[in-house]
Amino acid sequence: MEADVFISRSESGRVEISVVKHGLSSGAARKYDTSEKAREVLLAFRIDIATIDHTLKILSRTRPSELVRLPTIEIASDVLKSLGFKAAAFIAA
């Protein structure tokens, strides 16, 4: 599935990853206690490690709840499901 991936951080430092089917306005999100755990998920999405590290560096300088967008990527539905990303738009794909 072609997807847009966004990350943000909360005031407490938790990192949220949102996955939205390309062309839609909402999708599924998951929160992680640390940037390292979020990094593992982004790696599972097969995002380039340099892109992940650059994005996490940007995220560390943003205000809480500010979205940082990663490049649109192709993510296999079974990968999304295995990582707990579930949304009606993913099932209908």
Q: Which residues pair with 2 in a beta bridge?
A: 74
Question: What domain count does the chain have?
Answer: 1
Q: Quick check: is 61 in a domain? A: yes
Determine, yes or no, domain membership for 34. yes
Distance between CA 11 and CA 15 in Å, rounded?
A: 10
- What is the span of the domain harbouring residue 58? 2-76
Residue 50 is assigned to a structural domain of this protein: yes
Residue 15 lies in a domain: yes
Is residue 62 assigned to a domain?
yes
Kindly report, residue by residue over 49-74, the tens digit of the pLDDT. 999 999 999 999 999 989 999 999 99
pLDDT band per the 50, 70, 90 thresholds, residue 93: very low
Spatial CA neighbour of 41 closest among 91, 68, 65, 6: 6
Structure tokens at 34: 């640390």
What is the model's pTM?
Answer: 0.88
User: Is 68 among the domain residues?
Assistant: yes
Q: C-alpha distances in angstroms, 46 versus 18, 22, 31? A: 15, 17, 19
42 domain-assigned: yes
How much is the pLDDT for 56?
94
Instruction: Assess if residue 65 is contained within a domain.
Output: yes
